[in-house]
Amino acid sequence: MAFDKSVFAQLGAPSVTLTLTQGEISVDLKVCYDMKAIGLVKQKLGVSMFNREELSAVDPSSWPTILWAGLQKYQSNVSIDEVALVMNPGNFQLVVEKCIEAFTLTLPKELLEKTDDPKTETVTEPVPAQA
């Protein structure tokens, strides 16, 4: 029996909706940080999304790249330049919050509990699940 590749579309990281509005125009974007998106952030910026210090030190001008990576599963035809054109100081905080929310949804509960520990400054690369 052949493997049904459509199963992959149903699996994966959860997403959040980011609504960007200017005047009467608005667009809903699905932001999702699966491993492909996380890898794109690492590849483009040299930043691990699992490292809170690195992520919090990212220059604001790099956030269009982080958002772009999170759009790749559902809006892969959007370029980094196009993302940068719709981001501005007025929606910057919303974009950052939605990106962090989308990424946080992917983390296992145990890893989230570690980040609440004030002694834990860095979330390390995830440990593979034991079989």
DSSP code string of 49-94: TT-HHHHHT--GGGHHHHHHHHHTTT-TT--HHHHHHH--TTTHHH
Mean pLDDT of the 26-34 span: 94
The tens digit of pLDDT for each residue in 37-61 reads 999 999 999 999 999 899 889 999 9
Mean pLDDT of the 114-128 span: 47
Q: Quickly count: other Cβ atoms within 10 Å of residue 28's Cβ.
A: 9
Whether 69 and 33 have beta carbons less than 8 Å apart is answered as yes
More confident residue, 5 or 130: 5
Mean pLDDT of the 17-35 span: 92
The structural domains of the chain, with segments of one domain joined by +, span: 32-115
Output the pLDDT for position 120. 41
